A = this chain, B = another copy of it.
Amino acid sequence: MEQIIMQPIGIIHSPYKHNKDIPIQGVFKPDVEAWIELKDKYAGGLKDLDGFSHAIILYYFHKSQREEIEGQPFLEQNKHGIFAIRSPHRPNHIGLSIVKIKKIEANRLYFTEVDVLDQTPVLDIKPYVRYFDSRDNVKCGWVDKHFRDGKIPHKAIYKCEESVGR
């Protein structure tokens, strides 16, 4: 299997029009709101998702023009393997965010904890199930030192245009 063809199931409407405005992860700027507008044929797929507080959204990094093997994450100067960072410049350009569900209306899923660019194509939505998706006793490699004092690093909330990675 050398080629897999996918089609967007919908699109994200987000207040973030430029990459520089986006926090590295939406959980660090939790009040911003966005919504997914699904193609009409998929609206029925949202049934019962409103019983969940969070969803995992998978989307296509449509603005990335390149594929890197190593990259420099926003939080530091060191390079790491692309599979050890969350950069958009990755093979297959799939993005993943955990978002907080606000409400569902017809083919629209409104959410907060946004870190996605406006007009991003959506590939999938999954319910966030803590019995599968949450882990204790987790070691987070190069990331841990940036959160050592229990605080969110300033750079994780605001980044500048020159950043490589997210």
Contact = CB atoms under 8 A, between A and B. Distances in A.
Interface in A132-158: 132-135, 137-143, 147, 152, 156
A147 B92 CA distance: 35
B130 A45 contact: no
Interface of A: 1-9, 25, 27, 41-42, 44-56, 58, 60, 62, 69-70, 80-86, 90-92, 94, 96, 98, 121, 123-135, 137-143, 147, 152, 156
Contacts of A125: 83
Q: Which 10 A-B pairs have the closest CB atoms?
A: A51-B141, A47-B81, A53-B139, A83-B125, A49-B84, A25-B132, A45-B82, A48-B80, A48-B84, A52-B141
Contact of A91 (B5, B42, B82, B133): B42
7 contacts: A1-B8, A4-B123, A45-B82, A46-B84, A52-B140, A128-B140, A131-B156
B49 A124 contact: no
B45 A81 contact: yes
Nearest to A94: B124
A1 B91 CA distance: 18
Contacts of A81: 44-49
Contact of A127 (B49, B141, B147): B141
A80 B4 CA distance: 27
